[in-house]
Amino acid sequence: MVTRKTQSSWEDLIIKYKQDNKLYSRSCKLHNRCTQISLNDSDRLCPCGSLVRCHSFWDPNLQNREKNFNFPDNSLAGFKFNDSTTTPVTIFGRLKPNDCKFIRLDVQSDMNNIYQLLVDDSGGQNPKPDLILSIYGGTNYFNMVKQLEKRIICDLIDAVITTNAWILTNGVDNGVAKLVGECISYHCLLTEISKKIKCIGLTMWGTVTEDMRCRLKYESHDYPKNEIYRQTPDNVQEHYETIQKNHTHCILFDDEKFNTHNGDSHRHNLVLTACKDKDHT
């Protein structure tokens, strides 16, 4: 009797990677859940950009652990990377209604582990990509005539469906990433082939809106619902992004700053990692 190997779910894969110490998240350690402040100071911000009273860190904070610790000023510029630390991954799951698979990771995560996670999640006989299309630019000032948009959509889909390809974008619902997501959704209505397209967004946790961060926590696997709360003041006007829901995956990198801007380094490193794979076809 031949036993068929079943593919692990996205959630099961992440749990296994966590157990093998391959994936971590990141948290500010200037304050913790036990930090107490007065009612008159309830909207005081930490240099990381989060409300002081809404930190998720459990361990003793820097003030309690280091006697000579000089607490930085409240400006975001005062926050340093060493003011944060690695923590267990708690935010991962599928974003409804399109089941976009997401995970929040430490900004310094090993790209080899991320690449292997994506490969393991692909399953099938040929899980590794034969082609990677990394779509750059055009987030804030993306303007294109409709005819040219349609031409790009057709060429992009043709290139993807004729190869075992991955598409990489910055994952936000704006500019060219939005166009790519919409084109995949459109072609998914026309043909089942589009369902095989792997479109991966790599963005920063601090780039998305606070409402989006709360939604990701709510949709996360086994995340305590009573621990979902806003970490920024209600009266703060946000100019950040939301996740493009038609992507198959979204990797959110966290440097524990809420004023982070997107860059292309993570997509670049993922492409380099895939190209260095000796078994890559």
> Which structural domain range is residue 244 located in?
10-24+88-276
Look at residue 120 and tell me whether its pLDDT is greater than 50. Answer: yes
Q: Could you write out the DSSP letters of every residue in 189-216?
A: TT-GGGGG-EEEEEEEGGGB-HHHHHHH
The whole-number pLDDT of residue 44 equals 81
pLDDT band at 90 (very low <50, low <70, confident <90, very high): very high
> Are residues 83 and 94 located together in one domain of the fold?
no
Mean pLDDT on 20-34: 87
pLDDT given at position 164: 84
Per-residue b or e along 25-61, where b marks 16 or more CB atoms closer than 10 Å to that residue's CB: bbbbbbbbeebeeeeeeeeebbbbbbbbbbbbbeeeb
Q: How many domains does the chain have?
A: 2
Q: Where among 87, 105, 136 does a domain terminate?
A: 87
Backbone angles phi, psi at 81, to 5 degrees: -60, -35
pLDDT at position 75, please?
52
Give the residue carrying structure tokens 């991320």: 114
CA separation for the pair 102, 267 (Å, rounded): 16
Confidence of residue 3 (pLDDT cuts 50, 70, 90): very low
DSSP letter string, 52-102 = GGG----S--HHHH-TT--PPPSSGGG--GGGEEEE----EEEETTTTEEE
What mean pLDDT, rounded, does the chain reach? 81
Cα of 74 vs its chain's centroid, Å = 26
Q: Do 120 and 239 have their domain in common?
A: yes
The tens digit of pLDDT for each residue in 30-84 reads 877 777 676 677 778 887 878 877 777 766 665 555 544 455 555 555 678 888 8
Q: Does residue 137 form part of some domain?
A: yes
Same domain assignment for residues 228 and 264: yes
Q: Rounded to two decimals, what is the model's pTM?
A: 0.86
Answer yes or no: is 4 within a domain: no
Q: How do residues 158-210 score in pLDDT, each as one tens digit?
A: 788 788 889 999 999 888 888 888 888 877 777 766 557 899 999 999 889 88
